[in-house]
């Protein structure tokens, strides 16, 4: 990475992608963001 600022930007984008757009098999193909916004989904999927 050229700069610390660029590295921070790339890491933040990666975290956003992981939590908001990438469905997780262990969460019945919901994203962590979906679960965070609606914890009742955990009960519905039996986690």
SS3 31: coil
Indicate the domain borders of the chain: 23-47
Q: Check residue 23 and give its pLDDT.
A: 93
Q: Check residue 47 and give its pLDDT.
A: 77
| Residue count (the chain) | 47
Q: Check residue 28 and give its pLDDT.
A: 92
Question: Which residue in 26, 24, 1, 21 sits closest to 11, CA to CA?
Answer: 1
pLDDT along the chain (47 residues), means of 10: 89 94 92 92 85
Q: Check residue 1 and give its pLDDT.
A: 57
């Amino acid at each position: 990475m050229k700069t610390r600022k660029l590295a921070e930007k790339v890491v933040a984008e990666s975290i956003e992608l992981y939590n908001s757009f990438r469905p997780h098999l262990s969460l019945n193909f919901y994203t962590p963001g979906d679960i965070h916004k609606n914890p009742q989904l955990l009960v519905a999927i039996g986690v």
